[in-house]
């Protein structure tokens, strides 16, 4: 029976990964300091004898007893609201935390799986973004704490691979959504859905012409496992290449929630906010046989239902 460690295992994506690994027959140890994660996300797993949760800060000395086959390193605040409120924690978990997790992978002869991000591309000057693009990042901007620490995480991961022959996998995640996102996450999906369900104005920053590509969480986790169990190292983009403007996305959520909310426009919060974001998933398609299958409407319906229950709202 494979044994996997998931750092950030009580988070949005970490908890979904724990679910999937258990379904695949893995024993799972989830580590999380709950700075942005929640035990609510893994409450349904606590009685599973193959699951163990440890409240732990992975920037400290990291050791787990017994054999380990895979270490999935997902720990890190990832929302733009966290870039100012948790800036030091972000830098530490992506630098020190990655270093500690790589050390454990080396000690255990385990495969190390790094969840990197499309943010390594910054505000991209090429579109769509391919894995060989080096990015356009402001290292001292508000987003730099996340962008640069993830770039460092990729660099040290490959350094351990080259110097110590640690088997590694690097995935670059594009915008992902689904149940278990934080209600106050600050990203566009929780913002728009929460505002629409409450009947508040739906806030679009800037002109609404900036684009994003949204991948449903189950598709993303499938991509994780395709990469983890392959002979590829990466980095490989995993995301949905269907691109929409923020205004189109707000209009779609308003339609699906049957909301009376008006759409209002406010100035951009951060000057380095990417104008375009869409993955080129050629490598994922050709090397992993992966591509997303959940439509935006299907994924949003599931996400809206989850948020409606949490907010005590009635979705029409």
- Catalytic site residues? 146
Q: Phi, psi (5° rounding) for residue 281?
A: -105, 30
Residues 262, 195: Cα–Cα separation, whole Å: 10
């Amino acid at each position: 029976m494979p044994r996997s460690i998931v750092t950030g295992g009580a988070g949005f994506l970490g908890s979904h990964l724990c679910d999937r690994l258990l379904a695949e027959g893995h024993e799972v140890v989830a580590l999380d300091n709950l700075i942005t994660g929640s035990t609510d996300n893994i409450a349904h797993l606590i009685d599973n004898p193959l699951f163990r949760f440890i409240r732990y800060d992975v920037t400290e000395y990291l050791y787990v007893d017994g054999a380990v086959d895979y270490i999935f390193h997902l720990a890190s605040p990832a929302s733009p609201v966290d870039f100012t409120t948790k800036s030091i924690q972000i830098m530490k978990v992506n630098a020190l935390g990655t270093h500690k997790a790589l050390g454990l992978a080396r000690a255990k002869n385990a495969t190390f799986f790094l969840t990197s991000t499309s943010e390594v591309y910054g505000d991209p000057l090429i579109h769509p973004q391919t894995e060989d693009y080096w990015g356009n990042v402001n290292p001292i901007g508000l987003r730099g704490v996340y962008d640069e620490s993830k770039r460092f995480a990729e660099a040290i991961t490959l350094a351990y691979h080259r110097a110590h022959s640690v088997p590694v996998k690097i995935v670059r995640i594009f915008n992902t959504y689904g149940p278990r996102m934080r209600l106050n996450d600050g990203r566009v999906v929780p913002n728009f859905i929460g505002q629409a369900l409450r009947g508040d104005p739906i806030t679009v920053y800037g002109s609404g012409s900036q684009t994003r590509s949204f991948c449903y969480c189950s598709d993303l986790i499938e991509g994780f496992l395709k990469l983890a169990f392959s002979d590829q190292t990466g980095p490989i983009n995993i995301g949905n290449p269907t691109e929409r403007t923020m205004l189109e996305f707000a209009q779609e959520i308003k339609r699906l929630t049957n909301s009376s909310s008006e759409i209002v426009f406010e100035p951009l919060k951060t000057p380095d906010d990417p104008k375009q974001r869409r993955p080129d998933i050629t490598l994922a398609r050709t090397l992993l046989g992966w591509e997303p299958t959940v439509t935006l409407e299907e994924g949003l319906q599931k996400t809206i239902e989850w948020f409606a229950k949490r907010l005590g709202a009635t979705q029409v």
